[in-house]
Amino acid sequence: MPTIIPINEEEKMSIIAGLRSNVPATKLITLKKVADIADMRPESLQYMDMIDKRSMQEIISSIERIAQLDQDDVLRREAMISLEKIKKALGTKFILDLISCKNCGEVIDLGWDYCTNCGANINEMEYDDVKKCSNCKKYISDEWIYCAHCGHLLKDMPEQTLVCPSCKREVDPSWMVCPYCGYRLKKVKK
């Protein structure tokens, strides 16, 4: 198992600031840095995607913006290379579409009610591919079991099997004692 060297706050902020910079050389160096991290430390990007999804989405959307809108061909090409390397590092997680604010284009989270950049009400925006909660009518993620807005049950919970704490074998909920190892599962009521 590889040792994960996480991207620290200073490095993360440096990447975000470099991608937002108006200086082409700074953008180019930052894009190369992100590509190097994706090549040499892909687990760092995976860890960041798990721990700080917001920053990871901000980095990806900034690189996408450079790839699509920048006037410099070299920067656009380098941005595409960086995106491919990030895609390879994150695997199938990268395929998930990022939802962006219809007002300002900033990446948003479906659990929010308002865009953190411009303050627009997310629930008043129209997204064709995103489902809404049947209870509160706010946008929800397909991965959610409960609605983050109102707590409504969206999916049936997978049935959990009970296991003996001692031998880790499956046990019946009605058993008082594990028949495999003799561990007392329930206390006797007096």
Query: How many percent of the chain have pLDDT more than 90?
Result: 39
Total number of residues shown for the chain: 190
Under the banding of pLDDT at 50, 70 and 90, the label for residue 1 is: very low
Composition of the chain by helix, strand, coil, percent to 5: 45, 5, 50
Q: Is the pLDDT of residue 95 over 60?
A: no
Q: Is the pLDDT of residue 98 over 70?
A: no
Residue with tokens 């108006």: 22
Q: Is the pLDDT of residue 115 over 50?
A: yes
Reduced to 3 states, what is the DSSP secondary structure of residue 30? helix
How far apart (Å, rounded) are the C-alpha atoms in residues 88 and 129?
A: 25
- The reply to whether the predicted model has a pTM over 0.95 is no
For residues 101 and 117, the answer to whether their CB atoms sit within 8 Å is yes
Q: Could you tell me which of 121, 120, 123 has the C-alpha nearest to residue 132?
A: 123
Q: What count of other Cβ atoms lies within 10 Å of the Cβ of residue 19?
A: 23
How far apart (Å, rounded) are the C-alpha atoms in residues 132 and 61?
A: 24
How far apart (Å, rounded) are the C-alpha atoms in residues 139 and 174?
A: 41
What confidence tens digit (pLDDT) does each residue in 7-23 have? Answer: 899 999 999 999 999 99
